[in-house]
Amino acid sequence: MIIESIKMSWSNIINNKMRSFLTVLGVVIGVASVIALITIVEGATGSITEQISALGANKITVQAMGTPLKQGLNQKDLSKLSAIEYVSGVSPTISSSTAIVYNNNAETNITVQGKNEVYFKSESKNIASGRGINILDVENKTQVAVIGSEIAQKLFLGKSPVGEQIKVNGCTYTVVGLLKPTSGFALGSTNDVVMIPYTSAMKTLGVRSITSVDVYMADSAKSDAIISSINGVLNEAFNYREKAYNVFNMQDMLNAMGNITGMMSMILAGIASISLVVGGIGIMNMMLVSVTERTTEIGLRKALGAEPGRIQLQFLIESVFLSLFGGIIGLMLGVLVAFVAAMVIDFTLKITVGTILLAVGFSATVGIIFGYAPARKASRLNPIDALRHV
């Protein structure tokens, strides 16, 4: 019986090609815009999230501004922080701007960062050649450096920098490693940075205390417990002075951003779905015209024994068929638009089963809602009047 109805619907759609096409166009545009917007927002969000995650979703950043008495953290504070449960390591960063010289080639205002072995263990994949800074370098205050790709290009002009000697703030350092170029949104780029052991950095750059520390978590699900332990250590270190430090969790930022983009995609999809409603009205209009045109047919079918429910079902199937058809074309069009956008804005396109179900579900719902009234009208036609209508 459903098959019969689908066959009849198909023949009606085929027999009114132009009208069906124009009617379906409304749904196509509606579904396409909803799908394109959702896919674009999701894809862009995914790319941004990935970039931020790459910076370290598994770390908590501590900024210690300190107090007049104690201007940052010391070695003791660091060992206390690394002793916290679920903390896999602590990496201090000492940052300063200074001049770097290789032979007679000098670059001023280069960011020099003091790091430890924990940083290079966590980010080992970022080494392009040579090695990172290890624990012996840190303990012995070895004068070795790992340099960013842009700096390497500027100083060594394409020559391999590993093994060469440079001067950092007047002290001689041996280059032991080259960092991979970072790309994309350039957030936290290390392309123009020179990294040296933080102990050496404190000596060479004349820094006495540590103001920035990354705490790596062994289990990021435990971040709340870890943060409260960090607060405990820092409160003690700074004698419970207010505003002496900041604790910043990357995961919190990711979550906040997820909320914002989620809301944004809902709002955009909401606006786009207005066009879906317009498309639905188009379907309703066509179905009403169709009912009027086929009054005699409806009357005859009733005379031959079609129950009102069957007539209603047939018209309902026809409208759902139309809108589903539009939905599928709209889905393809929307994905195509998103694909083009992905190439232009440069993000990875993600088409989920959810998106497809959304398109299909949306259009089927439109068909049912806007097909109901015409179908009901058809089912209620009086067969005598309908047969007389010629």
Partner 1 sequence: MSEILVMKDIVKCYYLGGETQVVLDKVNLTITQGEFVSILGPSGSGKSTLMNIIGCLDVPTSGKYVLADNDVEDLDERELARIRNKEIGFVFQSFQLLPRLSALENVELPMIYAGVPVQQRKKRAAAILERVGLHDKMRNYPNQLSGGQQQRVAIARSVVTEPTILLADEPTGALDQNTGKQIMELFTELNNEGRTIIMITHDINIANHSKRVVNILDGKLIEQPRDSISSGNTIERSV
Q: Which residues bind partner 1 (CB under 8 A)?
A: 1, 4, 11-12, 15, 296-297, 300-310, 383-384, 387, 390
Q: How far apart are CA 173 and CA 46, in angstroms?
A: 40
Q: How far apart are CA 38 and CA 34, in angstroms?
A: 6
Nearest to 26 by CA among 289, 329, 269: 329
Closer residue to partner 1, CB minimum distance, 16 or 49: 16
CB of 287 to partner 1, least distance (A): 17
CB of 301 to partner 1, least distance (A): 7
Q: How far apart are CA 314 and CA 320, in angstroms?
A: 10
CB of 376 to partner 1, least distance (A): 13
Nearest to 60 by CA among 192, 278, 234: 234
CB of 5 to partner 1, least distance (A): 10
C-beta separation of 97 from 110 below 8 A? yes
Closer residue to partner 1, CB minimum distance, 107 or 297: 297
Closer residue to partner 1, CB minimum distance, 115 or 302: 302
CB of 382 to partner 1, least distance (A): 8
How many Å is the maximal CA-CA distance in the chain?
A: 105
C-beta separation of 213 from 114 below 8 A? no
Closer residue to partner 1, CB minimum distance, 8 or 356: 8
CB of 11 to partner 1, least distance (A): 6
DSSP letter, residue 180: P
Closer residue to partner 1, CB minimum distance, 8 or 349: 8
DSSP H helices, 57-116, are 75-82
Write the CA distances from 363 to 13, 167, 311, integer angstroms: 17, 67, 22
Closer residue to partner 1, CB minimum distance, 85 or 307: 307
List the Cα angle 210/212/218 in 5-degree steps. Answer: 115
Closer residue to partner 1, CB minimum distance, 80 or 302: 302
CA dihedral over 184, 130, 56, 348, signed as positive or negative: positive
CB of 2 to partner 1, least distance (A): 12
C-beta separation of 386 from 299 below 8 A? yes
